[in-house]
Structure 1
Amino acid sequence: MKKRETYTLLRNITLILSVPSLIFAAVLFLRFIVLGIEKPKAVQAPVEVSHRVLFISSYNPLYFTYESQVRGLEKSLYPRGIEYDVVYMYADERGQAGIDMFYNFLKAKLKDQKKYEAILLGDDDALKFAIDHQNEMFPKMPMVYFGINDYELARKASERPNMIGFYENDYLEETINLAMQLFPKRKTLVALHDQSSAGLSDIEIFWSLREKYKEYAFVDLDATLFSQNDLILLLESLPNDSILFYMTCYSDKSRNVYSMLSRTSTVVRSASVPIFRNYVGGEGMGILGGVHIDVEEQCEKAGEILAEILNGSKIESIPFVEQIPSRTTFDYNLMKHYNLDFSILPSDTVLYNRPVTFWEQYGKFLPAVGMLILAMLLFLISSNISRKIATELARSLQESRNRLIQREEELQHQAKYDEVLDIYNRRTITEWLHNTMGKGDVYSVIIIDIDNFKMLNENYGHSLADSILQYLVAMIRGLAEDGGWKLARFGGDEFLIVIPNERISMDCESIKALFDVLRSPIPLGDETLAITASMGASCSDEITAPDQHIINAEGAMYEAKVRGKNGLVIYDDDMKKKAQEEIVIKEKLQHAFDNDGFFMLYQPQIDSQTKKVSGYEALVRMKEPGIYPGQFIPVAERSGWIWRIGRITTELVIKQLAAWRDGGKELHPVSVNYSSNQLNDHGYVGFVEDLLKKYDIPPYLLEIEITEGLFLEKSALADEIFRRFKDLGIRLLMDDFGTGYSSLGYLTYIPVDVIKLDKSLVDTYLVDGKDSFIKNIIHLMHDLDKEMIIEGVEEEWQFNRLREFGADTIQGYFFSKPIPADEAIVFQTK
């Protein structure tokens, strides 16, 4: 009885205290709500348009500074009643021909529309254009320029009549100084730039600092000298003690122009060193930080100056602006990642990704929440005291029941879900698709395969590889939950996704989101890992059964692997037709294997000085009409039959050499092609040796053509085969030089005697202004004691030029296409 009285007293006390606490919490909440309501702003009528100007942009709407320029101009022009039109020069993409085209376009536009009172000029190319054509196209029109990287150009323009503006001072040196302070132990400074005005200005400043910082190594990476793949390889191989300065670099050697987002993604995914940037753009995307001008503020001030001029101010009285305030931005997470000292940064530094503190987010209403919690706590204590004894027994019984239910759910879960990734397994998703989707439903089936996942297992171990898969599943699961997708593990590193109510396309939002997830760097402790994936998809068509869509998607995924990985292929009628054609070609190949269905053609190789035949390349053909090498060779590669073709072609060539000899013909070396898939034919070298002995053919008359990529793999198996060829006295030729990595450095150690320059390099560089590149390669190969065969020569002037450059051998349609053996052995140049 005494215990009950004690509980009653405690209950009454807590109830009495909870009521005023609840009232006080309500008062605090009301005060917070009232103070937090914003008063409506007065609606202002738009300013009447009184002036119209023309903005000439050097580049295009996707250029990384364009949006900031527009925001700044609109902030200063629109409130002052100034409207503007924009024309784009695309100067970074089209070269001089594009500028000439732009001249004709703008001349016609200004002739037909004489309505502009002034000109705005964005970046260097627009200013140069305006200077060149000021008197002709813009007489007496005031012009305000901004974004000019060439100081002398900006200064001289300010001295011309009716011109004034801003020099876009470069904060590269400040960025480099800040990087040095943050990373005092890193002594290699790498500059990534292109040949744009900004890029050239940056690299000039960069090199000017070398004398000032003699203890540092300065490295120059000009993006216009490399392909996208070459640039990625260079970024991946940067030294561990380096710092990368990502400047203006949106073009490659093929004149492809990349957006800021695309190029930034490539740089961040490829480089594993700290990345600094002295331009706006890329914040929060993996750039550590940097110092740059505020483009928006610069353009806002340019608009203000233009407004002053239109309102009567003399342009001569307005000073040339040489200095724009800087803006320092850094990524909080990356500062933490590199364990850097925040005190080194300027006090006005903008930090991206800085987490909001608990007090910043919740401090205003914590007192009210505290009082509410206190009131609720007191109320709960009062309630729990009354129910404590009665609920204890019920809780015990409920726990026993819950354990039974939980065990049953666990068994059901294990049968339906993957044990490691906790998503549907293959059987479950197959049954779900079969039972849920009919032929008339709209849906898409996607199969994802992680590229080179076997290498991850070997390099990191199965445990970490599983963690990588779990990370990916967590990211994809977020997309699946938002979109109502079904996600399953289809195999070891394969996933299957069903997207209901959508037939996906190559550029749909679902696919973009998937690629964003798959291509995002994966954190591994202090490092990050970049992976790629190949995807195949099949969309419902009201005909195909759901089970067949899985098969189709899997086939499309394998096609994506064949096309170079890291992409998506959607199953279509062409693939279905291709699969059917491949079945036919396989049947024809099998018949050819069993019935002597192959023959050889020989393309003469001509000595550039004597114009006489010096050798031949042997090219295999099928006797079956209408089946060409481009069709049956890939099928043989995929089917594992290429080794059989390799042996057949080798024997046909050696037998032909013997027939020519027995016929009293003069013999020249004949080269045969060797595929990387022939590495698995471990007896091939012995097979060649036996044939040479059987037909009594000297080894120097047989040459082996190997593609560039096989030399670069540097596998022990490949090295052993190359050594055995050399021991036999068979010369090795590198085929297709110039289509792959094409680094000159590895040519000093690979066992190759002859380099065959690919036709693509001849077409690209054997032109006026570029042909010194071909000449230099030929001379370099001779310095390395290697011969040069130039492929794809089709014109007499090409032959004459290459002969002048010292090329050893010429091969191409200018002399002869591949021809039968009896024509080849008597072939003579005309």
Structure 2
Amino acid sequence: MDKRKTLIFLRNFSLWLSILCLLALLIFFLRFIVTGIDKKEVVKRPVEVYHRVLFISSYDPLYFTYDAQVKGLERSLYPNGIEYDVAYMYSNGRGDTSGDEFFNFMKQRLSKVKKYEAILIGDDLALEFAIKYQEELFPKIPVIFFGINDYELALKASLNPMMSGFYENDYLEETMNLAKALFPDRKTFIGLHDQSVAGKVDISTFWTLRDKYKGYSFVDLDASLLSQSDLVFLLAELPKDSILFYMNCYSDKNQNVYSMLSRTGTVVRSATVPIFRNYVGGEGMGVLGGIHMDVEEQCVKVGEMVKEVLTKGSRPEISLVDYTESRTSFDYSLMKDFKLDFSLLPKDTIFYNKPESFISHYGKIFPPIIMLFITLVVLMFYSKCGKMISMTYIAELKKSQKVLLDSQEQLSYQAEYDEILDVLNRRTITAWLRDTMTEKSVYSIIIIDIDDFKMLNENYGHSLADSILQYVVALLKGMVEEGGWKIARFGGDELLLVIPDEVLTMECQIVRQLFAAIRAPIPLGDETLAITASMGASCSDGITPPEQHVINAETAMYEAKKRGKNGIVIYDDEMKEKALEEIRIKEKLQQAFDNDGFFMLYQPQIDAQTKEVSGYEALVRMKEPGIYPGQFIPVAERSGWIWRIGRITTELVIKQLAAWRDQGKTLHPVSVNFSSNQLNDHGYVDFVEDLLKRYNIPPQFLEIEITEGLFLEKSVLADGFFRRFKDLGIRLLMDDFGTGYSSLGYLTYIPVDVIKLDKSLVDTYLVEGKDSFIRNIIHLMHDLDKNMIIEGVEEEKQYLRLKEFGADTIQGYFFSKPIPANEAIDFNVS
């Protein structure tokens, strides 16, 4: 009987306990659902309105700071019974920079509404409008401004007894210091901006900071001078050692204005270097991070100032506030990708794209799972039905567990594999090589790069181009599985193969099989497509670590590209010596940049008829013995440093012209060479103009030599440079005529003043039976009203023949080799 009562008690107890557990579970889920809803914080409008103010915004509500401004104002205005209206300078088609159209709109509006007790001004354009029209639109009404980038404008406004407000700190220097700490090896700072008021302030601040960063190169990129396609191209070609500072740049040269989201998308998709931003906006979209002003907190202080002004009187007796709290925000995922030290960031840094831990992500489901388990165990004591229910719940638990495991496997796959090609990604193969292979292992590494893959993307689209890559990988996977190789996606169209126990040769069976697989026609519907690839290989040697073999294979692949593509190059001692030599020259170049390591020689240009000096070509040399232009110029081109040499040589020449003038010498034009890679130096023409003014040198004494190919590119950037040179009064010379396109028709329209005939044409055609060709070219140039300089004249008979043909100017060793400045200025033909 006691046992029976005990069982009854246990059964009833288990029933009530299971009901209580289910009720607790229900309450938990209801609370989870309610608290899980993302509630947007809303500041309620004041029930009692005591004051009304007007907020004049420079931009429309889509501007990237507008939401934060409004949120901050509402937090401080509404609780104090202050209501505000908004007028946008750039809405409903109004957007003239003079503000006249907006003035008419405001005058009509203010005549129809109740008088406002204060005026709020957001950003620079609205403040300029308020200063201009204050007396006509809102006299004797306090004006509070904020978000002002131009400090001089803010200071000017604060001198008005009815105006005060807040200057917008740019925090560019703080962001630069953080970038410098995170990337100590990157020595090129690039400032991306436009010609808006904020953009001009940005780039002015950017350049003023240059002297604080010794050893760093500063380059500005003005989006207002570029089309969208030009900007994308330049961002993709940024130097590998650079950092991009993305400031205000929302317009292009075609007067298109882009939203912050649109422009940020363009920047992060195109640039491969770290991107920093000293303004709000772009977080979590691919911008690495930065320090920027807390717009919302500034506007909270604006509201507090408005309250104080309306409470104490109609005059804002508060001085200009030039400091506002900052926020530091960074992309957690990008910090990991760049392998950066998180300890260098401030403790209050806000992180975006930070993955949740397993506990934080799944922790909320643990309590209901525990309660479910208790309920199931209790119901097992109640009846067979309870047992069936418990089995159902157990099955559900197993299903949930499987979902969790599947999710973990999917995350692991995404971290280790390239989803498009279903092969290992770059990070995984690099880690595998580091952990698996030793210096004593026998293996070969091959990097395969599809030739002209960019053209495939442009002609067939990214989707089909990806399909072509998938097809190639599918062909290679059979060889990979059979040989026990490893395959990974190393870059956009680059594949990396690790072949164990093999030391490859140029003609080995594996290489032949790879080329046969890649060159096989690819079916595209009713058509087929043939592709080729360039390959670079590096083989283990018992000394070199795996990471270096990857670099060597990539170097060899680029060498295969240079040799005409569709082939393979195996890294050898000669390439190693070449790479070491380039490293040595780079080091000498860097020393020369830092220690005034360049000087100029001047080769006289002689009037063919009078034998008088008519000008010089300036030729750069390094003070370091044993390094010649044919060695250091190509290295500078490949390293992205040629623009620095261009600026140094230009300044040396203009200084020399000034020195000759001060010595009382007769000046003649001096030409300096301009490389196509200097097109990325957007401030070069301004640099030249500043030097000419600083040293008081008339522009006709400086000439720019440009290669034939650059004239024929007809790019937007090149045309812009040529036009600005011509506007300054600087003559343009076409160098190396006859080595490139050798077409005479284009000479009728390109903006060139002087043609320099290349030495190769002199050697080939200035001989008996062929020299009429040279005579005809000279006469044609004269008919086109262009002068001609004949280069490479080394023999007297060449000079006499050219003089007979009516040549203008002779340059060559017959008269003089390149000589120092003091000899060149006094040079006379003997």
Q: TM-score, normalised by structure 2?
A: 0.47
